Amino acid sequence: MKAFQKHIWMLLLVFVATSSCNKDRLNVEPVGEFLSSNFYITEDQVFSALIAAYDPAGWSMAYGQWISYVMFGEIRSDNANAGGDPSNNDQPSWQEFDDFLNTNTNTVLQPLYRRAYIGIFRANLVIERPQISSPLVDRYQAEAKFLRAYYHFELFKNFGPIPVVTTSLTPDDVDLERNTMSEVFQAIVSDLKDAIAVLPSSISSNEAGRASKGAALALLGKAYLYWGDLLNDDQAKFDLAAQYLQQVVDLGLYELSDDYYTLFSLGQKNPAESVFEIQHTNLWPSDWGWFEGIGGNGVVQLCGIRGLCSAHPDIQEGWGFMLPTKELHDSFLPDDTIRQDAAMTSVAELTQEVLDAGASCSPVVDLSQGNPIDFTGYWQEKYSNFKGYLGNNVNGGDPNLTKDANTYVIRYADVLLMLAEALHRGTGSDADAMGYIDQVRERAAGPGDNTGNFKTAQMLMTEKGWTLQDVIWYERRAEFALEGDRWYDLVRSGRATKSLFAGDPIRENNFEAKHLWLPIALEETTVATKLTEYPDASLFQ
C-alpha cells in the first residue's frame, strides 16, 4: 500500500536539459531523465502515471487553500455552519460558502476546479500515452477511465455542466466552453462502462483505494440517479441506475459493518462496507510549503473541537470548522441515537467522557475560543481528531497535516439507499426498495440481530404519514450526516430553496437560484473566455 501512496507521480515530471548554444551539445540525448517520448514504455511507468492520476482525489489542501467536498457538502447545506475562531471571519472563503456570499473571486474556487482537471489531465495521459500493451496496462487504463469519470462527476456536482475533457490539451486548447448536462453524463457513462468491462471484481488488501468493478458500477448508478433527477424525474434513467446498483449488490462482496460506530473509529480503513474510499497517508512529509496537495486528511484537524481541554482521554483539540446545526441534531428520530451520537457530540457528552476517564478539567471546552455565531451546541465527530494521531508525522511533516483518516466516497449503505430510491422513482418494486432501506435501518439500531426491534420503512410511513420518498430522504440524511452528501442531495432533488433555511436569516436572505452551483473562478474565465461564470438553464438538457 505504501507504493500506492508515495510520490511516484514525481516520475512524470519532464526535465529539460539546458546547455550553452553550442550546436553539438544541443543534440545530446538526456541522461538519466524521463521525457514524454520515453516514459510510457513499461508497465511500472504506466502504473506510476496511474498513481499520479489518483493523487489529486486525496488533496484536502491545494494551492494554499483548504478544499474538501466533505466540508462543502455540509457547510453549504442545512447540516452545518462554517465555524472557526471567534472572529466569524476565520477562513473567509468558507464563511462565504456558508452564507451564500461567494463570488467568482472566492479563493477556494480555482483550487477546487483545478484539482479535478489536473486529475483528468493525468488520467488522459494514462489512457493515451502507453507504448506497451498488456492485460495489466489494460487494467491501468480502465482505472484511469474510472478516475476521469469520477473527476467529471465531482466537477458537475459543484459547478454544473462543465467542459468535458477526454484528450490531452495543449495551450492552444484552453478556450473551452461548457458542455450540456447530457454531454457531461454521457462522457461519464461511457468511461464507466469501459472501465466495468475490464476492472476486477475484487481487489487485494495491498490494492486498497484502487477502483474495482463494484466501485465503477456504484458510481455509474449514482450518475444515472443524478441524471434522472435533474432531467425532470426521468424514469428510464432511474431504471438504469437501479440496474447498475443492483449489480453491485449481486457481486456479494460488500456488507454493512455490524457496528456503525466502527466506521469512524481510529485506524478504520477500507472495511467491507467501503465500495470506494479515498486513501490518506502520514507517509508524505506534508507541510505548509507543500503547495500542490497534502497526503493527510485536513478535515480531521480543521473540524476538530476548538478549545477542548487536554484531559480528554481520546480526542485532542482542533480548529472548530463544520459545526453541526441544531436543526440537524433535532432531525434524528428519537430512537435513532446511534447515528446521531456517531455524527456529533456536545459539552455534556465530552464532560462525561472526561469524568469516566477519571480526569478533570474546567471548562472541558473553552467556548470563548470558538465561533459564537455558528456554534449551536455541537461538534462533528465522524472525523474526530484522535490523540492517536500524535506522532503521525513519521517523515517530518506538519502534525496538523498528516492525520490519515480515509474519506468514504461510496459506502455500501449508499448503494442500498440509492438502489431503493431508483427502484421507487423508476418502474421497480417498492417492496424491494423497502427491503433495502430496512437493511440500513436494522444496522442503525445497533450491533447484533435487531430484526425484531427496529422500525421498518413501512412502520415509519404508517406512524408518521410519510411517503416512501420521505423515508429515503430521512435515511440519507441520518446515515450520511456530516459525510458530505447533504448539499448535493438537496440540489439534485430540487429541495435546495430559501425555505430550507427558514430561521437562518443570513442564509435565507442571501440564497438565490444561482447558488445551486458554484461560479467558475475569475482566473479561469479570464483565460477561457467562452466559459460562463454560472451555467445557463439551457445547458440542463
pLDDT tens digits along 47-90: 999 999 999 999 988 888 999 999 999 999 999 999 999 999 99
The 3-state DSSP class for residue 531 equals coil
Domain regions of the chain by residue span: 1-63+108-199+511-541
Half-sphere exposure at residue 390, Cβ-oriented, CA atoms within 13 angstroms? 9
Residue 326: CB atoms within 10 A of its CB come to 11
Check if the beta carbon of residue 435 is closer than 8 Å to that of residue 238.
no
**The residue to which cell 517523515 is assigned:** 395
Record the cell numbers describing residue 9, joined without a space. 507521480
Check if the beta carbon of residue 79 is closer than 8 Å to that of residue 480.
no
Distance of alpha carbon 45 from the chain centroid? 28
**Based on C-alpha coordinates, what's the Rg of the chain?**
24
pLDDT in the model for residue 408: 98
Q: How far apart are CA 525 and CA 516, in angstroms?
A: 19
For domain 1-63+108-199+511-541, the question of CATH label 1.25.40.890 is answered with yes
Worst-scoring range by mean pLDDT, 128-142, 249-263, 391-405, 508-522? Answer: 391-405
Which residues of 51-120 form beta strands (DSSP E)? Answer: 61-62, 65-66, 80-83
How far apart, in Å, do the first and last CA atoms of the chain sit? 42
Mean pLDDT of all residues belonging to the chain: 92
At position 79, the amino acid (one-letter code) is N
Under the banding of pLDDT at 50, 70 and 90, the label for residue 20 is very low
Residue 536: CB atoms within 10 A of its CB come to 11
Under the banding of pLDDT at 50, 70 and 90, the label for residue 281 is confident
Residue 371: CB atoms within 10 A of its CB come to 22
Neighbouring-strand partners of residue 337: none
**The residue to which cell 461510496 is assigned:** 410
- Residue 135's H or E segment, with its range, is helix 135-159
Q: How far apart are CA 112 and CA 156, in angstroms?
A: 12
